[in-house]
Amino acid sequence: MKIDEYSRLDATALAALLDRGEVSAQELHDCARRAAAGLNPDINAIIEIFPHALHYEQDGLFAGVPFLIKDLVLHAEGIACDGGSRLMAGRYVSAHDSELMARFRRAGLATLGRTTTPELGFNASTECVLHGPTRNPWHLGHSSGGSSGGASAAVAAGIVPVAHANDGGGSIRIPASACGLVGLKPSRGRLPFGPDYGLPLMGQANEFVVTRSVRDAAALLDALEGPHPGEMFNIERPAEAYALQIRRPGHRLSIAVADRLPGSDKADPACQAVLQQTIRTLTDLGHSVEIDAPSYDAEQFHSANVMIWSSFLASAALGTAAALGRDYDENEVEACTRACIDYGRRLSGLQLEQALAAMNSVSRQVAAFYGKYDLLLTPTMRTPPPPIGYLNQNDPRLDARGWYDRIFDICPYTALFNFTGLPAISLPLGMAGELPVGMHFAAPMGGEGTLLQLAAELEAAMPWHQRTPAIHASKLAGG
């Protein structure tokens, strides 16, 4: 198989070729490795390619399909995890699989390597001192988003059709938007974190993947979701497989639309233009659209979120150092990470209880908003992907709140749905010049089926698969 043919197919199409015997798993793995060799020097999305694919189940739905894991939170037995930080680099190798990693293996995904992340995942751009910046395949001078920017750049560039990602404030959806992919953040409790984590970020974090197609997202959610003994939060399972739900039309929806949320600025004109195009398409499809947004105390939300993120970073940094039998060395973390860790160490138990109270208050206000609507639509990012260096996590001038504000100034829509635990998806519905622009749909708790049904409808009405990064032609053509 030629690389340019391989790089344009989604995981479902590759799995079908494998099932029919038209291509071997080894051929696909060779394609992925050749694509990585040709592309990764430009985009810097992959920090390690393994000598052999990690073991996977031969009867899994995606048996043999090339895959990459993000270098954060997820653990694979015998594989290093750096978390994008010099604090961990080369020092931690997991003795076991995370439950989700075991499920990736059972789904048949052939893990070939691990992808970049910003330091400890707290950036909307994937740039770290340890590994350097990950560049957007659509324009190498711009960010691939974060914190799953390596995963998204690798999928968008055509190295693999799907890659592991996780999301504590937008880290699946932001890079999906920046790189022109489908990025679903499931409901709280849909996917497991065990055994090493319970409710990271006090329940704000989520695990899943980034994909090129809606059908891949639906099929993988079917393969990965479900309870696991000891998980601190579980959610009711779907009555029908998501892969079946997307094959039939959903009911006509009542959709609220907002170009700003409480406390944020309006979206950039380029994002506004894609939002208006999306509204027109939704109306043409028979959906009801109304300008509205949830109301909540923005400062209460942001103050609590800074506390939650900072306490998590402090716990991660100090806990990792202790687990490695070392003292925490502040010189091994970037300046903004250090500022957050310092703030997190000063927080009291009372302040964290207050942050949880804010989570409760905001979650109930947002849940009430969905009494009027099926979905909320916003841009995924307030601006197109910024230039490399705009979100510099090693800027010594910023304290914890200053760094938080800088991140969420350009990404003010996503973190609310981590805070509330509600599912949300970014879809690649437009362009700003050479750069993709994603639109963000959020649903009530457990509403992944509604999101995926609408996503499939929009995928047909506003097809994005015909758009590919220029790097495809320059690096993959004829390979």
Catalytic site residues?
A: 70, 147, 171
Closest listed residue to residue 471, CA positions, set 142, 70, 185: 142
> What's the token pair of residue 226?
């479900």
Q: 419 near 355, Cβ under 8 Å?
A: no
SS (H, E, C) 154-218: HHHHCCCCEEEEEECCCCCHHHHHHHCCEEEECCCCCCCCCCCCCCHHHHCCEEEEEECCHHHHH
Closest listed residue to residue 406, CA positions, set 418, 392, 396, 420: 392
> What's the token pair of residue 289?
């659209």
Strands 66-70 and 254-257, sheet pairing: unpaired
Burial class, 210, CB count within 10 angstroms (exposed 0-12 / middle 13-18 / buried 19+): buried
Helical segments of 370-446, H only: 400-410, 415-419
3-class secondary structure, 68: strand
Strands 206-211 and 254-257, sheet pairing: unpaired
Q: 377 near 256, Cβ under 8 Å?
A: yes
Q: CA 231 → CA 184, 192, 193, distances in Å? A: 21, 7, 7
Residue with tokens 């402090």: 314
Instruction: Please give the angle made by the CA atoms of 159, 113 and 11, to the nearest 5 degrees.
Output: 45
Q: Which residues contact 249 (CB under 8 A, 6 or more apart)?
A: 453, 457
> What's the token pair of residue 461?
């009405």
In one letter, which amino acid is 434?
Answer: E
